[in-house]
Amino acid sequence: MTSVQKQSIPALLEGRDALVRSQTGSGKTLAYCIPVVQSLQAMKTKIQRGDGPYALVLVPTRELALQSFDTFQKLLKPFTWIVPGVLMGGEKRKSEKARLRKGINILISTPGRLVDHIKSTKNIHFNRIRWLVLDEADRILDLGFEKTITVILNAINAECQERQNVLLSATLTEGVTRLADISLHNPVSISVLDNSFDQPYLTDEESSDDSDSLSDDDYDDDDEDDDDDDDDELDGFAIPEGLEQYVVLVPSKLRLVCLAAFILQKCKFETDQKLIVFFSSCELVEFHYHLFFQTLLGGAASGQLPSGGPRLTFLRLHGNMDQEERTAVFREFAQAGPGVLFCTDVAARGLDLPQVTWIVQYNAPSSAAEYIHRIGRTARIGCHGSSLLFLAPSEAEYVSSLASHKINTSEMKMDDILSVLTRDDSFQARRGGGQQPQAVGPQETQERATVLQTVFEDYVHSCEGTVAWAKRALQSFIRAYATYPRSLKHIFHIRLLHLGHVAKSFGLRDAPQNLGGSTVKKRKVNVKRPDLRRRAQQQHLAEALRSEYASGLEAGGAKAKKQSRQAEPGDELGATSSASSSSDV
């Protein structure tokens, strides 16, 4: 039992409201699931399915909803009369309404989907609610669900006043404390900043009447800029002791080769390695997933690396995938052995993916808080893990920015990563008949890196469809690069990019002016109106978030249009990709 479980479970079994603050991977899900199940199964009057929900659990993402649902299912095996259920975007409303009519006693839902049913479903009632749990509350607020939560609270309060409320969060922001004020009643505050088993439980006397035993150091009301916001979120936030953090400085033109070499190193020449690679957009996930599947795995359904090696699974997860596929990928990767999951930040919060050994952040996160939540997918509950952050030399100052938040990284040399190519004859340069192979050294490493880059470029330029797809991925990267917050603009700015070298990292041989240039030209529009430019960037970021964490409320036509934009690169790859998806997912 982890510290957060040892401290939370007794408090919740006493019937107290609670504000639980604990690091990622500390076991918060079980900390509330166990008390909920215990209290419901112990009720004097046996629960009937038709009674409706006795417990409501709100989570920010579909994957986290599935994870919580699976946890409840396991705990409820001895108590078959208590029925759990889940509501989330991407599922058919008609099916969900049918399940609500039959009865759900423990209801797990994303906020947007629940509000949709509150407004449109007559069979959803909250008059028997005894538990309200808000899991990953900070992320719920980050995604703009504060008004949605207010609608839900009002609907519950209209039917039921007496209940137990639990709010769980990895970080403590002003929004979280505001949400605690309106949803919790005289709560006990539990703050666990590491996985030790000897931290004292906060008793009633130690917690103040005005909610929470929060000290002035927990947050600062006088925020002046984005950095202050980060300070508030990260104050006292502990990084797991078993986590080793690395950063590698890679020129843009070598990024693609370096990422491929790192994957080969971990998955071909080491055993039992499970990686998650984070990208900044859905398009980047799709591009790298298909590129590596076709080149590193040769498009083989067997998942065999070139020139032998262990079986390997390549999967991807992002917000533009339909719900059925997202669910299948989430469960397959959770149960898989060695493998690589290419994903966006949709997988960065709350998900428990077992035995993940490495987190790779190919695109730098926009805040230190997001950095911490990404690396929180490894080294969970006392296990060991490692993380690697890719940065360009011009972005090296980001290391100091992380250090200012007490996030300390060690440098991993790019040459050490690329040297793995000398162990794989698949990337040996072709030589004339009289030339002898060179001794392994920097020159040989460079030549093999060139061979691998050529493999990528040959594939990208194999048809017009793949070239167009690579260009769209490049444009997506540039758009995402423009959305970094003001406090990081001096580190991440488009003017600091060498667009020709960036194009190489997408397997493109053309100079930027030959890429169609629409993205670069757009950056010049409204130069004299920074307010309009800033508004456009914010709008793009909001659209990206809605895509990632959508509640499924989009019109069918819009969704179909979005999926058509996510088409595979070229007719040839389209056929191959559908086969690969069925074998991989």
pLDDT-derived band at 477 (thresholds 50, 70, 90) equals: very high
Mean per-residue pLDDT over the chain, rounded: 79
pLDDT at 571 exceeding the cut of 50: no
Percent of the chain residues topping a pLDDT of 70: 73
Distance between CA atoms of residues 201 and 189, nearest Å:
9
Distance between CA atoms of residues 533 and 526, nearest Å:
6
The pLDDT score that the predictor gives to residue 479 is: 93
The pLDDT score that the predictor gives to residue 143 is: 77
The one-letter code for the residue type at 273 is Q
How many C-beta atoms lie closer than 10 Å to residue 432's C-beta? 5
What are 237-292's pLDDT values in tens digits?
567 778 899 999 999 999 999 999 999 999 888 888 999 999 999 999 999 999 99
Greatest mean pLDDT among 103-107, 202-206, 329-333 lies in: 103-107
What are 513-555's pLDDT values in tens digits?
644 444 444 444 455 565 665 566 556 555 544 444 443 433 3
Closest CA to 233 of 66, 104, 372: 372
pLDDT at 412 exceeding the cut of 90: yes
410 CB-near residues (< 8 Å, 6+ apart): 244, 245, 246, 247
Query: Of 352-356, 432-436, 484-488, which gets the smallest average pLDDT?
Result: 432-436
Distance between CA atoms of residues 166 and 187, nearest Å:
9
Sheet-wide strand order for 243-249: 313-317, 339-343, 274-278, 358-361, 385-391, 243-249, 410-411
Distance between CA atoms of residues 30 and 34, nearest Å:
6
SS3 of residue 316 by DSSP: strand
The CATH architecture annotation of domain 243-427+449-548+558-569 reads 3-Layer(aba) Sandwich (3.40)
- Torsion angles phi and psi, residue 77, rounded to 5: -55, -40
Domain with CATH 3.40.50.300 in the chain: 3-234, 243-427+449-548+558-569
pLDDT-derived band at 53 (thresholds 50, 70, 90) equals: very high
Burial zone of 316 (CB within 10 Å; 0-12 exposed, 13-18 middle, 19+ buried):
buried
* Measured CA distances, 487 to 224, 226, 296, 368, 484 (Å): 11, 6, 38, 12, 8
13 CB-near residues (< 8 Å, 6+ apart): 35, 38, 39
154 CB-near residues (< 8 Å, 6+ apart): none
The mean per-residue pLDDT over the stretch 551-577 comes to 43
- Gyration radius from the chain CA atoms: 25
Closest CA to 253 of 32, 68, 414: 414
pLDDT-derived band at 380 (thresholds 50, 70, 90) equals: low
* Measured CA distances, 158 to 153, 161, 334, 489 (Å): 9, 8, 40, 46
3-234 CATH? 3.40.50.300
